[in-house]
Structure 1
Amino acid sequence: MNLRAKSKSFWRNTGETEVGGGLDRGAQSTLSPFLKWAGGKRWFVRHHAGLFPTTYNRYFEPFLGGGAVYFHLRPQQAVLNDVNPEVIAAYQAMKDHWVGLKKSLAYHQRLHDADGNYYYTVRARTPTKLVQKASRMIYLNRTCFNGIYRVNRQGEFNVPRGSKDSVLMETDDFKSMAALLATADLRVGDFERVIDEAMEGDLVFADPPYTVRHNLNGFIKYNEVLFSWADQERLARALKRAAARGAKVVATNANHHSVRALYESWDFLTRSASRFSQISADGASRKQFEELIITCNI
């Protein structure tokens, strides 16, 4: 199959009103993600939202993270996956217990304001109940250094406290998030299994860890899991299979010749886009990077 022949113009104008799998984005504004995530795609939806199709069936996101694209598209049917169970627990609590979650975060806000060491008290805890587990995750994410998620060899979150003190944001709309997530299928697991479910007319958005072939160590740390070059190859094969079944594919990755070769050899459309690195103690020192945008059947 000539996949390039099935791909239409790469850039589109936004302002959609007819959205088969998603809500009317002309009538409903983008929801602000409740997690800040390294490599998050808020910049992407601000500048490149027009490349997403206006009609699709189900939406699949195998590397969910902060979910910026999901909250922008607001699809009516979605399969949302991440390898990190803490991330999915936060989404599950938002979906099923948003009122209790908001109250728990308000509690964290009061104690955070009153005690300069409260962050480290919470970081040392390991709650087991869903709402408390999720509120801990969101609290640490919003008050840690630059929203980084990092764990030690024992799987314990070890990022120091940052400079931000707001646990609850003016942009928080937990009620709308819960309503959107009500129809979402939340999963913890491997990306390939999720992508393999996408069929003709479905939309897959894949934003994996950005491993390249010649990394000195051959992998990067993705939560507690190693994401290797072999995983990059496996991802490319899974996206090719999805595209061959007629799924619409949008993916982002490192703009490196080794990654481009994985997709250009299969006749996907590839373009580069610039963004600023989001991990730096000094905002002025953040550097601009190029990312690869990959599409098929759009």
Structure 2
Amino acid sequence: MIQSPLNYTGGKYKLLPQLLPLFPDKINTFVDLFCGGCNVGINVKANHHIYNDTNTYLLSLYNALKSNDKDVTLKTIYAIIEKYDLSLVSKNGYDFYGCNSSKGLSSYNKEKYLKMRDDYNLHKNENYLHCILLYVLIIYSFNNQIRFNRNGEFNLPVGKRDFNKKMEEKLLSFIDIIKTQDSLFTSIDFAKFDIDTLSSEDFVYIDPPYLITCATYNEQDGWNENDEVRLLEFIQSLTARNIRCALSNVLRSKGKENAILIDWLEAHKKTYTVHQLKFNYANSNYQTKDKSSSSEEVLITNY
């Protein structure tokens, strides 16, 4: 299986061995409605793929990776690293930067990273170079994560690591797959997705922000109870049209429960199947300091 080159919060890479066997065997068009890091979509066989996410910057990056030669992309990444004089331990080692593996590289990269971040935020033209600059920014950010403020500015602090061979391999493998797929990248609110274009031969995978978690995408009221209700109504619309779909979510986590989803499932228990998944999020970045609790992760299908 191919892993996303982005450390996207809530990514499903580790759950793929459980998820993929629950998907339909034959899919014409696969819709990844909240694609995030694309871990699911790049590992699903289908005739066509549609990746959707409300983060327009993310979708522009995917389009740039798909549309341009991977060798050019790699050269551009290294050119950006050189331009901002960022660390490259794979080439020079830690001693060269006056740092070590345990403390990381933040002390060396901090000011250079902030300059790169300022340049990115000041020049939002969405051309190829700007998209690749976002990728490098993510790689050198805290935990390689992605976060924008209300003004659309990337606002994560510098991280401890830099671009390494493992990241390079993941990126190149991802590009290879995304180039072979007949794929389309869109950036719209899920409720505006035109389901009239879909049929019973298609499949919609839905991995929304989780209402009861504390992930970065839930900051600033990024996903609320109204959104949860709208999503369940959207799923009902798919089901009414005999369009296959699957919803990833958590029913309970850290003493909280998603009452809206639980009540909805009870009201429609003859329509939807709940598949319990075995996974502990102890190593996920959006967990709090309490590492002992696991989430009740489920996949809900209408077939």
TM-score normalised by L of structure 1 = 0.78
Match of 1:293 among 281, 290, 299: 299
Q: 1:175 to 1:66 in 2, by over 3 A?
A: closer
Give the letter for the 1:237 counterpart: E
How much does 1:154 deviate?
2.7
Q: CA contact under 8 A between 1:79 and 1:184: conserved in structure 2?
A: yes
Residue 200 (1) aligns with residue 200 (2): yes
- Partners of 1:241 and 1:282 in 2: how far apart? 36
- Partners of 2:168 and 2:238 in 1: how far apart? 38
Q: CA contact under 8 A between 1:98 and 1:178: conserved in structure 2?
A: no
- Partners of 2:208 and 2:291 in 1: how far apart? 25
Residue 148 (1) aligns with residue 151 (2): no
Match of 1:263 in 2: 265
Q: CA contact under 8 A between 1:206 and 1:250: conserved in structure 2?
A: yes
Number of aligned residue pairs = 263
- Partners of 1:39 and 1:281 in 2: how far apart? 10
- Partners of 1:221 and 1:129 in 2: how far apart? 22
- Partners of 1:94 and 1:223 in 2: how far apart? 28
Q: 1:175 to 1:158 in 2, by over 3 A?
A: closer
Q: CA contact under 8 A between 1:41 and 1:69: conserved in structure 2?
A: yes
TM-score normalised by L of structure 2 = 0.76
How much does 1:109 deviate?
3.8
Q: What are the superposed Cα offsets for residues 2-27 of structure 1, whole Å, 9 maximum, x if unpaired?
A: xxxxxxxxxxxxxxxxxxxxxxxxxx
Q: CA contact under 8 A between 1:76 and 1:180: conserved in structure 2?
A: no
Match of 2:61 in 1: 90
Match of 1:235 in 2: 231
- Aligned pairs (5 A) from 1:114-263: 116=109, 117-126=111-120, 127=123, 128-166=125-163, 168-172=167-171, 173-181=173-181, 183-194=182-193, 196=195, 197-212=197-212, 221=217, 226-255=222-251, 256-263=258-265
Match of 1:107 among 41, 64, 79: 79
> Could you say which structure has the larger radius of gyration?
2
- Partners of 1:45 and 1:81 in 2: how far apart? 19
Q: CA contact under 8 A between 1:42 and 1:69: conserved in structure 2?
A: yes
Match of 1:27 in 2: none
Q: CA contact under 8 A between 2:9 and 2:286: conserved in structure 1?
A: no
Q: CA contact under 8 A between 1:84 and 1:223: conserved in structure 2?
A: no
How much does 1:242 deviate?
1.0
Gaps of 5+ in 1: 1-29
Q: 1:153 to 1:286 in 2, by over 3 A?
A: farther
**Structure (1/2) with the larger strand percentage:** 1
Match of 1:17 in 2: none
Match of 1:80 in 2: 51
- Secondary structure of 1:124's counterpart equals helix
- Secondary structure of 1:169's counterpart equals helix
- Secondary structure of 2:193's counterpart equals helix
Q: What are the superposed Cα offsets for residues 189-234 of structure 1, whole Å, 9 maximum, x if unpaired?
A: 111222624321211100001115xx99xx9845877322111111
How much does 1:261 deviate?
2.1
- Partners of 1:203 and 1:112 in 2: how far apart? 43
Q: CA contact under 8 A between 1:141 and 1:147: conserved in structure 2?
A: yes
Higher mean alpha-carbon deviation, 169-178 vs 234-243, is at 169-178
- Partners of 1:83 and 1:34 in 2: how far apart? 19
Give the letter for the 2:114 counterpart: Y
How much does 1:138 deviate?
1.6
How much does 1:68 deviate?
0.5
**Structure (1/2) with the larger helix percentage:** 2
Q: CA contact under 8 A between 1:150 and 1:223: conserved in structure 2?
A: no
- Partners of 1:224 and 1:55 in 2: how far apart? 39
Give the share of equivalent positions with the same residue, in percent.
21
Q: CA contact under 8 A between 2:26 and 2:46: conserved in structure 1?
A: no
Match of 2:285 in 1: 279
- Secondary structure of 1:260's counterpart equals helix
Q: CA contact under 8 A between 1:195 and 1:204: conserved in structure 2?
A: no
